[in-house]
Structures are given as C-alpha cells and as structure tokens.
Amino acid sequence: MIIDFWATWCKPCCAELDAINDEYADWQKETGVKVIAVSVDDPRTMSKVPSFVREKGWDYDIYLDPNQDFQHAMEVINVPCTFILDGNGKIVYIHNSYMEGDEKGLHAALLKAAGKK
Amino acid sequence: MKSTIFTFLLLILSAFYAGAQILNGEGQVHGSIEIDAQYYKPDSLIGAPPVPEKILMNTYDQLDYTNGKISAGIRYEAYDNALEGYSPLYDGSGFPYKYIDYKSDGMEVTVGNFYEQFGSGMILRAYWSPSLGIDNSFNGVRVKYSPAKGVYLKGLIGNQRYYWTEGAGLVRGFDAELNLNEMDSAWNNMKTKIIVGGSFVSNYQVADNPTYNFPENVGASAGRLSIINGGFSFYTEDAYIINDPNAINGDIFKPGDGALVRAGYSQKGFSFMLGGERVDNMSFKSDRTATANDLAINYLPEMPRDETYQLAAFYPYATQPNGEQGFDAEIKYKLPRGSFLGGKYGTDLDAEYSAIRSLDTIALNDKTTTDQGYTTKILNMGQTNYFQEGTFEIQHKFSSDFRLIAQYDYEYYDKSIIQNELAPNIISNVGVLDGYYAISSAHTLHMELQGLQTMQDQGNWVFALAEYNFGSDWFLGALDEYNYGDPDPSLRLHYFTITGGYMKNALHITVGYGKQRAGILCIGGVCREIPASDGLTLSITNSF
C-alpha cells in the first residue's frame, strides 16, 4: 500500500500523483498495490478536493485530513510525503518531496516491498 | 473512474494503522524533529535590524507512543530565542503539547492537549501551524463517540494555548454529524451522498469591566450540509455568534454571522467550482482582549487561492473578520491526450477569479454601553473593493522528462485595509514560467522566472531561481529577487540567496545564505509578517 500526503495547492504533490497515475494500472498488475492519497487541504480548500480529483481522473482512494490529525500522527512535516507499507502494515519506505523521475525510485521500492526484486 | 472520497473517515485509516501495530503485539514509537536556526547580519538598506543574540533557533520535536487502544504523545518546543518574525512571547522552552488518547468501540477519549475542527471551522478550529507561529490547541478533555452507524458526536472542554500560558476563556463545544448514507442500509447504495452537521460552542470569561457589562458566556452555533451526486457537489455552512464585544470589533455588542457556499460540477478532464462567502463581525476568541492571531477559537475559510509562486504571493489576501463578502469561480480543463494541443500527456488549463468587497453597512450613532456599532444590508455588496484576483495557468508535459508551467496573475489589492497601514491601492500583473527537466534519473533541473509589474508600492520586481538535484539525495539552488523598479533608485536592490541540501528518506537538511526581503506569509487567509533578514539559515527535519 502507498500512502501519499498531498494538497490541491501543492504543485509537486499533484505532479507526483499525476506521474503515479500514468503508471498505476501497471503497478497494480505487478504488485496489487493500492494508493491512498490523503489530502491535507485545510477547510478553505477541502471542499474543492472531490472536483479536483475527478477532473484529474485519479483512481486513488482519497481521504481528507483537514485539521492534519493523521498527518501529525504519521509525523509528516511537509507535503508531498510518500510511504510504502508492506503486507504487514510496516513502513518500508518514506520519501519527502518530489522531483521529476522520483516515481521510478518509488516503483523500485514498491517491487522490493512486494518481494518481486 | 472509480476513485472514492471518504469524508472525515480518517478514523478508519488510523484504526488500520493502529490495528497493524496490535498485530505486532507491542507498542510503537514514532517521532519527528524540526530545527530552524538562523545567523543574522544587520543590513540597514533592506531593513534587517541588528539581532543582539546573532543566532536564533526554533525547534519542534514530537514523540508519540501507540499500543493497541492507547496512544500518548509529547512535544518539546524551544525558541532560543524565537526567530525574527515570531512573537518574543515564545522565548523559552517546554512541553506545550502532551496527550493521552484511548480508543475503543466507537468511543475515543483524549485528555491533555488536542486539536479539533467542527465542520469547516467557522465556529471552532484549533490547529498547529509552526510556519505561521500559531498553536491554539486546547488543554482539557475531548470525547468522540459514534453511537450508531453514520452518527458522529464530539464534545470538548478546555482552555487554549497562549504562547507558554493559557487563555482566560474556558471553551466548551459540541458537534454532531450525520452521514445519512451510512445510517440507513437503504440509503447506502444511493447515488446521492448527504452529510448534515451542527455544532454549538460557548466561551466563558469573567467580566469585571467597570464601564461595560460584558457577557460572561458567549455562545456560537453553526449548521452545515454537504450533498454530492456524481459530478455535482454542494456544501454550505452558516454560523452565528451571540453578542461578543471584543478588541477586534471595537467592543460592539452586535451579533456576528457568517455564511459559506460552494457548488461545483466535475468530470474527468473538466471541473467548475463556484464559491461565495459572507463574514460579518466573526472574530471569536477565548479572550475578549486578544488581538492578531492570538487565541482564535474559530477559523474563517478564505475565498482567494493561496498563490505558491514567490511574486504571485507578493500581495496575499488576509481574511477580514470584521466584515467582508466575496466570491470565487474556477474552471479547469484538460486538453485530452493525443489531441493537437494536448500532445502525448495532455495540457492542463486552469482559470480562477475571485473578488472580495466590504459589507454594505450603516453606522449607528448609539454610543451606549451596549453599542451595536452598525447594521448591515445583507443582500447588498459594499462600496469598497478589498481584493480582486484573476489567474490563468497552463501546464504541459512535453515528455516524461520535461514539464512546463506558465501562469499569469492580475491583482487588485487594498493595502490600507489588508495590511492596516495608509497606502495607495495596488494593481499588479505577474507572469511566471516554471520548468522541470530530468537530465537523467539522478539529475533534475528546476528553473523559475517571474516578473511583477506595478505602478504603486515598491514598483517592479523580477525573480529567478535555478535548482539542481543530483545523486537523487542532494540539491543546490540559487535565487535572486530584484526590485529593479523601485521609485527610489537607491533602493533598487538584489536579494540573492544560495541554498544547498540533502534529502534521504524523511531526513531533510537545508542550508541557505543570503538576503530575504520583508514580506507577508499567508496560509489560508491567516498571515504572519516576515521581516527582512540577511545571513545564514539552517533547517533540519526528520521523522521516524
């Protein structure tokens, strides 16, 4: 499972989720991975999230964390922040920030977590 | 299209997360560390004052322990001394945040410090934003209970954090939310999703003013409704505060009210959102003498977007709690993949316009001890234009290695209202070009070029940034902000900064050297002044 903290106003977050979405179908076939995208949009922008996601066409499960309770529980300081949880619910990968091509590193870590590599 | 939206259901995810830990049969410790330090050099030209300590540092360090149904945590904070731009009332160190939490069978009890939000926060929102210097957490008890499927109740009582002490007011709050689709199995599979909620908050503060007969208990209530049907969404929240004379509204006894409406339609590749809001005398704090961002019980959601580019965010809007009304409209469209203009990956277009004006009020000449101050003509727009912004953005991915964003931004900004200082209104035009290029899998280049044009204030600015990421963990960057159009030629200054850093997993280390211009940082309509500074900065964050 991938947990990705993001927000509608965060450009690198959206670039990352777009990049994952391009590969998502393949990743699911390979590893059965599920992406959970947790929006940390505050009350000002949280009502935009459903439209934002539909427009983007993201096939993720989207959760809202408008007061950052879950963000704090996961010790996330800045977004984007991406976690991979293995089959036992153990965190095996954390990545903070996104640059072009970072999804390749995520994919490699995902294969490793799924025991495919 | 099978993406699902779970509103306010994070409990389930946290339960999964906690559940995963129960399976381990032992408790787990998590934590995070954040250190921000700066060495200051005085620079009279840019207005950076001498800092007697020379070095200042803020740190926030959290430790959380979870074992089955129990979790507990503590946060250490130190301001040795508080960084420039933070209140000196923060100077010192201690443990301002400690909690124990018990979760079982639909019930959750938290004792100690906690954050909370009812609806969109119009009558209650306690949150933590270190970058804004805001922590209005409660110290007390909170109970969350779900007596039946789809029914969520919350109750809380506590005092709010005021730097290293607590505010005078005792806040009591209750919130109920009904998710109709979860409540009834017949509704379960219905296409229309409906959530209704209501809350009541009361603040108690001793009144011992000889002149005014201040109310000791101030109550506030709010109701909300959310309807989603396929691509259509609708959300509204209305709030009312009983007479609350305070330092922000000039001790008037007029009740406050606020309303928020958002409606939208979306489908893959297209969305349209329309929003409207009204704020009339809505400052609600747990101390009637508190000012600025201190001891806020509620939060007023802001209409205009938060600009992320440096120069587009030069004149940011701040919500006016005493009165404003405005609207916001946004259209997003994706030129499809494979089309002539869409290219291989498609092109994203985004246009947004927002306008905020004053309320239409009539001043009352009722100088009594229960002064109402003014009356409002509810359906009229006010005469004063506070803020207008039109933004157009286009984003195109040329290849898997190259992405470009272009943005144009028009803004009207009433500086005397928003920054509360006598100044002419500002009209600005901002252009941004932002590009990302992956040279290879371990080398990425990020460049930004921005220009701001205005006839008022400090005149024209230009901003350039280059960032180079290498070895997937390291980065180096340089930026310059140049005020080439300042009316005073001797103030046409460069603000040059170089940065470098290392990122590995959750660890981030950033070092910067250079000048920072004076400005305002706003997040969601809440703002903090950033003073001009010159010197060396160090930032370390990590979590485990």
Provide Rg for chain B, Cα atoms: 25
Query: Nearest CA to CA, how far is A6 from chain B (Å)?
Result: 14
In this complex, which of A18, A64, A88 lies closest to B7 when CB atoms are compared? A64
Show residues of chain B in contact with A15, CB under 8 Å: 403, 436
Indicate the pairing of strand A61-64 with strand A35-39: parallel
Percent of chain A with pLDDT over 70: 99
Inter-CA distances, B496 with B48, B305, B482, Å: 14, 27, 8
| Contact between residue B88 and residue B81 where contact means Cβ atoms under 8 Å apart | yes
Measured CA to CA, the distance from residue B201 to residue B92 in angstroms comes to 32
Closest approach of B18 to chain A, Cα-based (Å): 9
From its phi and psi, is residue B162 left (phi > 0), alpha (psi between -120 and 50) or beta?
beta
A79 touches chain B (CB under 8 A): no
Stretches where chain B sits below pLDDT 70 are 1-25, 369, 523-525
Q: Is the peptide bond before B301 cis (omega within 30 degrees of 0)?
A: no
The rounded distance, in Å, linking the Cα atoms of B110 and B113 is 8
Q: Please, are residues B261 and B277 in contact by the beta-carbon 8 Å criterion?
A: yes
For domain A2-113, the CATH superfamily is Glutaredoxin (3.40.30.10)
* 3 state DSSP class of B298: coil
* Number of Cβ within a 10 Å radius of residue B61: 16
Is the Cβ pair B264, A61 closer than 8 Å? no
Are the Cβ atoms of A97 and B503 closer than 8 angstroms? yes
Contact at CB, B266 and A76, closer than 8 angstroms:
no
- CA of B431: how far to CAs of A98, B109, B311, B341, B413, in Å? 24, 50, 8, 22, 17
Chain B neighbours among A 33-52 (CB < 8 Å)?
36, 38, 42-52
Reference B411, options B315, B518, B273, B484; nearest CA is: B315
In chain B, residues with a C-beta closer than 8 Å to the C-beta of A82 are: none
Optimal mutation site among A38, A47, A91, A107, interface B, most CBs of chain B within 10 A: A47
In the DSSP assignment, the letter for residue B187 is H
Q: B120 to chain A: which residues are within 8 Å by CB? A: 43-44, 46-47, 66
Which pair of tokens denotes residue B494? 């460069």
Q: What is the pLDDT of residue B461?
A: 97
Buried b (16+ CB within 10 A) or exposed e, B270-292: bbbbebbbbbbbbbbbbbbebee
pLDDT at site B524:
64
Mutate to test the interface with A, among B13, B232, B299, B334 (most CBs of A within 10 A): B13
Give the neighbor-by-neighbor strand order of the sheet with A81-85.
Answer: A91-96, A81-85, A2-6, A35-39, A61-64, B4-6
CB contact under 8 A, B271 and A54: yes
With both helix axes pointing from N to C terminus, report the angle between A11-31 and A102-113 in degrees, rounded to the nearest 10. Answer: 30
- Give the pLDDT confidence score for residue B525 in this predicted structure: 65
| Cα–Cα distance measured from residue B331 to residue B343, given in angstroms and rounded to the nearest whole number | 21
- Rounded to whole angstroms, the Cα distance separating B348 from B480 reads 29
Q: How far is CA A5 from CA A62, A63, A97, B204, B448, in A?
A: 10, 9, 10, 37, 25
Burial of B364 (0-12, 13-18, 19+ CB in 10 A): middle
Q: How close is the nearest chain A Cα to the Cα of B211, in Å?
A: 38
pLDDT tens per residue across span B455-502: 999 999 999 999 999 887 899 999 999 999 999 999 999 999 999 999
Given an 8 Å threshold on Cβ–Cβ distance, is A100 in contact with B403? yes
Which residues have a Cβ under 8 Å from the Cβ of B92 and sit 6 or more positions away? B78, B79, B164
Task: Give the number of other CB atoms < 10 A from CB of residue B501.
Answer: 19
Task: Please name the residue of chain B whose CA is at the shortest distance from the CA of residue A99.
Answer: B444
Residues of A in contact with B465 (CB under 8 A): none
Closest partner residue to A96 (CB to CB) among B231, B441, B508 is B508
Q: Is A65's pLDDT higher than 60? A: yes
Q: Does A86 touch chain B (CB under 8 A)?
A: no
**For residue B442, what pLDDT is reported?**
81
CA distance A11 to A20: 14
Q: Given this model, what pLDDT does residue B163 score?
A: 96
CA gap A100, A113 in Å, rounded: 22
CB contact under 8 A, A96 and B1: no
Task: Determine whether the interchain pair B401/A42 forms a contact, defined as Cβ–Cβ distance below 8 Å.
Answer: no
Rounded alpha-carbon distances, angstroms, from residue B315 to B362, B388, B456:
29, 11, 12
Q: Which two tokens stand for residue B108?
A: 């959750």
| Cβ(B36)–Cβ(B539) below 8 Å | yes
CB contact A26 to B (< 8 Å):
no
Nearest to B3 among A11, A44, A62 (CB): A62
Work out the widest C-alpha separation in chain A, in whole angstroms.
43
A50, A52, A77: residue with CB nearest B34: A77
Q: Which of B59, B61, B271, B443 to mutate to test the interface with A (most CBs of A within 10 A)?
A: B271
Cα–Cα distance, B276 to B279 (Å, whole number): 10
Cβ contact (<8 Å) for A9 and B2?
A: no
C-alpha to C-alpha distances, B118 to B155, B197, B223, B397, B531, nearest whole angstrom: 10, 9, 10, 39, 34
CA-wise closest residue to A4 among A46, A28, A33: A33
Long-range contacts of B517-522 (CB under 8 A, 24+ apart): B517/B46, B517/B481, B517/B483, B518/B46, B518/B47, B519/B314, B520/B316, B520/B318, B520/B419, B521/B131, B521/B132, B521/B316, B522/B306, B522/B313, B522/B316, B522/B317, B522/B318
A58 touches chain B (CB under 8 A): yes
* Contact call for A64 and B8, based on CB within 8 A: yes
pTM as predicted: 0.89
Contact B244, B215 (CB under 8 A): yes
Structure tokens at B309: 């580019």
Contact B14 A70 (CB under 8 A): yes
Q: How confident is the model at residue A96 (pLDDT cuts 50, 70, 90)?
A: confident
Cβ-based contacts of A96 with chain B (< 8 Å)? 503, 505-506, 508, 541
Burial of residue B94, with CB atoms counted within 10 A of its CB: 0-12 exposed, 13-18 middle, 19 or more buried: exposed
Give ipTM to 2 decimals.
0.82
Are B271 and A63 in contact (CB < 8 Å)?
Answer: no
CB pairs under 8 A between A and B: 193
- In sequence order, what are the beta bridge partners of B171? B158, B203
Per-residue CA distances from B307 to A66, A104, B409, B524 (Å): 19, 29, 10, 10
For residues B127 and A68, is the Cβ–Cβ distance under 8 A? yes
Interchain proximity A62–B5, CB inside 8 Å: yes
Q: Which residue of A has its CA nearest to B7?
A: A64
Contact across the interface for A55 and B268, Cβ inside 8 Å = yes
To the nearest whole angstrom, how far is the Cα of B450 from the nearest Cα of chain A? Answer: 16
